[in-house]
Amino acid sequence: MTSGLLTLYIQHTSASLLINENYDPDVISDLERFFARLVPDGDPLFEHTLEGPDDMPAHVRTALTQTHLSIPLLAGKLALGTWQGIYLYEHRTHAMARRVILHLIGE
């Protein structure tokens, strides 16, 4: 394919997809610290803790971010900016198996 649209969709409620800077790893670390301050694990505000103290905070972080992305395909390449990268952003404290569905339409 040379032109079209790629849609990515994550089938989970405690992880998200982001497009952000991919040059400086401090960006992702800074995002982690920001979300930890905004929605801290173990916050007594939350009742839903079936899977641990990071369970409900992970759901809130997902609600504040994105579960799908749409990216144009131009001249056979994703039309990302110079410094942009695609991230699967895990909101739980332990790594989990995740599934992302890709759908590409075009010509």
pLDDT averaged over 10-residue windows placed end to end, the chain, 107 residues: 97 98 95 97 96 97 98 98 97 95 97
| pTM, rounded to two decimals | 0.91
Helix-strand-coil split of the chain, %, nearest 5: 20, 35, 45
The position carrying tokens 């670390």 is 29
CB 19 within 8 A of CB 88: no
Task: For residues 15 and 96, give the distance between their C-alpha atoms in angstroms, rounded to a whole number.
Answer: 9
Check residue 95 and give its pLDDT: 86
Task: For residues 15 and 59, give the distance between their C-alpha atoms in angstroms, rounded to a whole number.
Answer: 8
